[in-house]
Structure 1
Amino acid sequence: MEKINLNENWCICCTDDAKCFYSDVPATVANTLYENGEIEDPYYGENEWKTYDVLKKDYEFTNTFSVSNKVISSDKVLLRFEGLDTAADIYLNDQHLAFVNDMNRTYEFDVKDILKEGENSIRILFHSNIEYALEQHRKEPYYTTSDTVDGFSLVRKAHCTYGWDWGPKLPDMGIWRPVSIVAYNLAKFEDVYVRQHHHEGNVEVQFDVAFERLANGKETELEISIVSPEGNCIEQKYCGIKTKDSYTIQKTDRTVRESELQLYPCVEADFTEVLKNKATFRSQYLEYILYEGENETSRGTLLFCRPKHFEFADPGLTYTVEENEDSYILRFRTENYAKYVVLEAEKFDFVASDNCFDISKGEEKVIEIKKVDITKDGETIQIQPSDFETLTILNAFDIK
C-alpha cells in the first residue's frame, strides 16, 4: 500500500469572491476566515449573526497534488475522504465524482482511470449547510423551535452546530478529517475481527480477515503474527489463498498458552441476592478500586438502581482547605455515602483535579486546585483560603 496525504495547503474561497485563504486540514470556513481577520470571533457578543450570514454562502476548497506512474500503475487507487462537513460536490481533474451529504462517514472513490501522472487538481464545492437544511425542510416540513435552523434534523451533521438553547447557530462547513490517495496491489483489507476463547490454561485466537482481491489469478499470502507485550513473536502463520472470489473471508485458529499473553483478570461476584431484595438494592452500593501493581489508579462506586430511586442519606459533607506554594488542597469527609459530588464557586472559576466524584462513608477525598487554574473573566486571579468558604457542594442527595 502507498499513501499520499492531501492535508496541506488547501485554498478556501467563497464562490462569489476570488479571494483565497490557505489552510491545512482540519479546516473550516468560519475558523479560516477568523484566523485571517475576515470575521470577528463568532462566539463573542452578537457576532453569531454576522457569521451566520457568512455561512449562508457556498465555498470552494481546492488543491493540487502530484502522482507518480508507480501509483497510477497500482491495481487499485482510491481517493479517500475521512470526514467532509457536509453537503458537497467533489471534482477530480474537473470530473464530477459525487455529491455527498454525511459528515459522519468515510467516502472512497476509485480514481485510477481519472488520475494522471504529474499534477492533478481536486475541488470540493461545499454548499451552505444552512441553505441545505432549509431546503430539506421545504421538502419535508415539520415543527421546530426558534433555537435551531429549520430542517436540521434531516441533515447528517452534528445537530448542535445548528443551534441549541445553550449554543449559537453556526453550522460551519469544511474538511474535518484527513484526505488521501491510497494505492493497493494484490489485495485490500476490508475488515479484521479477532476473537479469544480461554480454556484450561490455553487461549484459542480466531482471526476473521475480510479482504478484496485485486489481482485475480495471483496467489495472495496472508501473514498472521501474535506478538507479546515484550515484542516477542509467539505465533506466526502464513496462508496461501488462491480463491477466485473477489471478496474473501479467511478464518484461522491459533492456540497459545495464557502465560505468554498479557492477561487482565477481573473479579467475579454474584449480586443475585442483593437484586432480589428491593429494600437492599435501593440502599446498598458497590465500591471498586483499581490498582496497577501497588498503586491505586482509579476508584468509584456503582448503584444497583437509578440514582433517583436510591435511598440517599444526607452525606453531611465537610471540608478543610490547605494552601501550598502553587495550589490549594481541599480535604473532604462525609458522614454518609455521597455520589456525584460537584464543586462550584460563585466568585471565581477553577479547574480541580476532580470535580465529579464519590465518597464512601468515613473516607477522605483529596482535591487539588492549582493557583494558575483559578480565574475570573478568563484572567488568573489571587484568592485567599477563606474564599473557599462560599464553595457550593452538590451531590446526588440534592436530587430529592
Structure 2
Amino acid sequence: MKILTLNGKWEFKNSSEEKWLEGVVPGSLLADLYRLNIIDDPYYRDNEDNLYELFNNDYVYRKNFSLKEQDLKGLKALLRFEGIDTIADIFLNDHHIGQTFNMHRTYEYSVEKYLFQGSNELVVKLKSPLKHIHNKQQEIPLYGIPMAVPGYTHIRKGHYMYGWDWGPQLPDCGLWRDVSLLFFSDIRFSDINIEQIHDIDMVKLKINMSIDNPSNELVVATVKITSPDGQIKIIETKIKEKELFEITIENPKLWW
C-alpha cells in the first residue's frame, strides 16, 4: 500500500469572508490564528472571553495536491481523516463525499473515481460547534455541569472544550490529526488485533484479523514472528473477510 500524506500547509478562512490564510494540518483554528499573530494567547488570563465569538462562525479548510498517472492506475484510493473536529462536510474536486459528526473517530472514504491526474482540491467545511449545541439544546434540553456551555452533551467532541472548573470555554475546531490518501490493490488489512494469553513456560497469541476484500474469495495471509535471538516462525492462514486463529510459543523470551 502507498500512503500520500496530505499534512502540512493548507489554507483556511471564515466562511463568510473572502481572504484565505495559511494553516497547518494537523492543527486547529486557534493554533493557526495564534501562529499568525491574529489572536493573543487563548489561555492567558481572560482572553477566552474575547475569543468566544469566533466559534459562532463556520470555517473552511482547503488543500491542493497533485497526482501522477501511476498513483491512479488500477488502484483503489481511500481518503483518511484520523481526526476532524467536529461537524464537517468534505468535498473532493467539487464532489461531496461525506459528513463527520464525531471528533473521536477515524473517517475513510473511497475516492478513486473523484481523483484526477494533475491538480486536485480537497475542501473541508467546518460548522460552528456553538451554534450546533445551542440549536440542539433548544430542541431537547440535556443536563450538564453548570460551569460549561449549555448543550455540550449534544456533541461528540471533547467536552472539556466547553469549559470546566479547571478549563476555559474554547470549543476549537479543525483537522487535528493526520490526513492522507491510501492507494492499494483490491485487498488490504482493515484491522489486526493480537491478544496474549500467558501460562507457565508458554504464551498463546490470539490473532484476529479483518480485510477489505471486494472479490470475496479466499486469500492467504502470512504471519511472521521473530524472537529476540533471530529465530523465525511463519504461519499461513486462509481468510475471506475475518479470521481468528491461535499460535502457541513455547518458552517465550519475556521482555520484563
Amino acid at match of 1:229: P
Q: 1:156: which partner in 2?
A: 156
- Aligned residue number for residue 222 of structure 1: 221
CA contact (8 A) 1:71 1:77 kept: no
Partner of 1:191: 191
Aligned equivalents of 1:72, 1:251: Cα separation in 2: 33
The letter of the residue matching 2:4 is I
* TM-superposition CA deviations, 1:168-204 (whole Å, max 9, x none): 2110100110000011214221222324455563444
CA shift at 1:13, angstroms? 0.8
Looking at structure 2, the residues matched to 17 and 225 of structure 1 have their Cα atoms a distance apart, in angstroms, of 55
Per-residue deviation, residues 265-300 of structure 1 (Å, max 9, x unmatched): xxxxxxxxxxxxxxxxxxxxxxxxxxxxxxxxxxxx
For 1:254, which of 243, 247, 250 is the aligned residue?
A: 247
Q: 1:233 offset after TM fit, Å?
A: 3.7
What pairs with 1:341-352 in structure 2 (closer than 5 Å)? none
| Alignment pair present for 1:171 and 2:189 | no
Distance in 2 (CA, whole Å) between partners of 1:34 and 1:197 is 49
Letter in 2 for 1:101: F
- How far does residue 6 in structure 1 lie from its aligned partner after superposition? 0.4
Please report how far the alpha carbon of residue 88 of structure 1 lies from its aligned counterpart in structure 2 after TM superposition.
1.0
Go from structure 1 to structure 2 and tell me whether the alpha carbon gap of 1:41 and 1:206 turns closer, same or farther (over 3 Å shift).
closer
Alignment of 1:1-400 (within 5 A): 1-144=1-144, 147-198=147-198, 201-215=201-215, 220-230=219-229, 232-239=230-237, 241=238, 245=240, 248-258=241-251, 260-262=252-254, 264=256
Counterpart of 1:164 in 2: which secondary structure?
Answer: coil
TM-score under structure 1 length normalisation: 0.59
Alpha-carbon separation, structure 2, partners of 1:142 and 1:204: 47
| C-alpha contact 1:3 1:181 (8 A) present in aligned 2 | yes
Q: Which string of whole-angstrom CA distances, capped at 9 and with x for unpartnered residues, describes residues 245-274 of structure 1?
A: 5xx22344433321x53254xxxxxxxxxx
Q: 1:205 to 1:148 in 2, by over 3 A?
A: closer
Question: Contact 1:26–1:177 at 8 Å: present in 2 too?
Answer: yes
Q: Secondary structure at the match of 2:44?
A: coil
Structure 1 pair 119–163 and aligned structure 2 pair: CA distance change class (3 A): same
Q: What is the alpha-carbon distance in structure 2 between the residues aligned to residue 173 and residue 195 of structure 1? A: 36
Contact preservation (8 Å) 2:197, 2:205 = yes
- Identical counterparts, % of pairs: 31
**Separation in structure 2 between the aligned mates of residue 207 and residue 74 of structure 1, nearest angstrom:** 31
SS in 2 for 1:9: strand
> Is this contact kept in 2: 1:234–1:256, CA < 8 A?
no
User: TM-score scaled by structure 2?
Assistant: 0.90
Structure number with the bigger relative contact order (C-alpha 8 A, sep ≥ 6) is 2
Q: Which residue of 2 aligns with 1:348?
A: none
Identify if the C-alpha distance between structure 1 residues 69 and 198 changes in structure 2 by more than 3 Å, giving closer, same or farther. Answer: same
Larger Rg computed on CA atoms: 1
Q: Which residues of structure 1 form unaligned runs of 5+?
A: 265-400
Q: In the alignment, is the contact (CA less than 8 A) between 1:76 and 1:214 conserved in 2?
A: no
